[in-house]
A = this chain, B = another copy of it.
Amino acid sequence: MNHGGGGPNRGFHTASPEEILAGPYLAFASLETALLGVLCQASGVATRAARCKVAAEGRPVYSFAARRVHPAIVPMVERAAYLAGCDGVSTVKAAEALGLQPVGTMPHSLVLMLGEERAWRGMDRVLDPKVPRVALIDTFQDEKLAAVAAARILGDRLAAVRLDTPSSRRGDLPAILREVRWELDLRGFVDVRLFVSGGLDERAIQALNPFADAYGVGSAIGSAPAIDFALDVVEVDGQPRAKRGKLSGRKLLWLCPECGNRGISPWGRRAAHCPRCGHRVRSLLETWISKGKVKAPPTIRGLRERTVRQVQDAPDPFPKET
């Protein structure tokens, strides 16, 4: 399967093999569409999640994508977001599968039914003492007064306030955050964190970093456009053959451990040295299924560590002129 490029190539290398299937075509022909579907959508979600995480410059980012995608794929979406670097997910099912505690705050409906103060106090009363208290403060009041009110009511037990400010009130969200921060600090609530959600994407996160402490990201992750992988025949009976627009022949994907250069070369001619620095390169391809035996898959933790490291090593996705 090659990534065909086209459009902004977001983190993938054009024409490089991501997956190689070798064997009788009819053995996997009927799986082509399903294989692509799994790979394209999950890669799209993961790419967007990784970008948000990079944009947050170390601050936690939680996937709130569940409400934007069909329930059947929520576990897939949250898994992809988590593997790409998100710090938590919001559904019980997905969290369980990933070995995590789900993440969330009180909903607006609670505040609407009980009123702000009763909702805050109620949450404080019923939650396990180990769970950090996060007060939702944008329901009725302006965030300025609500943040101070919540802090006064919950005192030291308040870990954070959550601003899910409606778009019609987002004239200058960084300014609102600055104001909340100032008013909390002025009254001694310097440890209360600011948790922001609502229509966030990479650019919004970058603008909020000076004042925000954590982010919940929904639509941007859930509706991330799929990556356009293609499953191309590139070799028939050992002979290179490919349709127009594709490079023919089985390929090697190599990485130079010295300079980070990455490239492809024909399978037969194992690339020995990096064309840029001359250092010996190493193959990035691993065999996962061979003669019917499937290699043991990596753990969730292992996968995530590898992905996060790759993202860190990739070029800066937000160059200055953007």
A206 within 8 A of B: no
> Binary interface profile of A, 24-40, with partner B (CB < 8 Å = 1, else 0)?
01000100111011101
A183 within 8 A of B: yes
Of all chain B residues, the one with the shortest Cβ separation from A182 is: B247
Partner of A175, one of B29, B165, B243, B245: B245
Given contacts A33-B91, A186-B249, A223-B44, A244 and B69 within 8 Å (CB-CB): no
In whole angstroms, how far apart are the Cα atoms of A305 and B214 in the complex?
46
In whole angstroms, how far apart are the Cα atoms of A257 and B113 in the complex?
37
A144 within 8 A of B: yes
In whole angstroms, how far apart are the Cα atoms of A73 and B76 in the complex?
11
Question: When the two chains form their complex, are residues A34 and B141 in contact, meaning their CB atoms are under 8 A apart?
Answer: no
Partner of A73, one of B4, B73, B170: B73
Interface residues of A in 242-299 (CB under 8 A from B): 242-249, 266
Chain B residues, CB < 8 A from A107 = 32
Question: When the two chains form their complex, are residues A40 and B25 in contact, meaning their CB atoms are under 8 A apart?
Answer: no
In whole angstroms, how far apart are the Cα atoms of A236 and B44 in the complex?
40
Question: When the two chains form their complex, are residues A169 and B179 in contact, meaning their CB atoms are under 8 A apart?
Answer: no
A111 within 8 A of B: yes
Interface residue stretch chosen among A123-131, A225-233, A308-316: A225-233
Partner of A69, one of B37, B187, B248: B37
Q: List 18 A-B contacts (CB under 8 A).
A: A32-B107, A33-B74, A34-B71, A37-B74, A41-B68, A73-B73, A108-B233, A112-B236, A140-B144, A141-B141, A144-B244, A166-B243, A166-B244, A167-B171, A168-B179, A183-B247, A183-B248, A186-B240
**CB within 8 Å of B: which residues of A?**
4-6, 25, 29, 32-34, 36-38, 40-42, 44, 66-74, 76, 90-91, 107-109, 111-113, 138-142, 144-145, 165-173, 175-176, 178-179, 182-183, 185-187, 199, 219, 222-223, 225-226, 228, 232-233, 236, 240-249, 266
Beyond A36-B68, A179-B245, 7 extra complex contacts between A and B, CB < 8 Å: A37-B67, A40-B67, A72-B72, A112-B241, A112-B243, A168-B245, A219-B226
Query: Which 8 residue pairs of A and B lie closest in terms of their CB atoms, listed nearest first?
Result: A166-B245, A170-B171, A168-B175, A168-B172, A36-B67, A223-B225, A112-B233, A72-B72
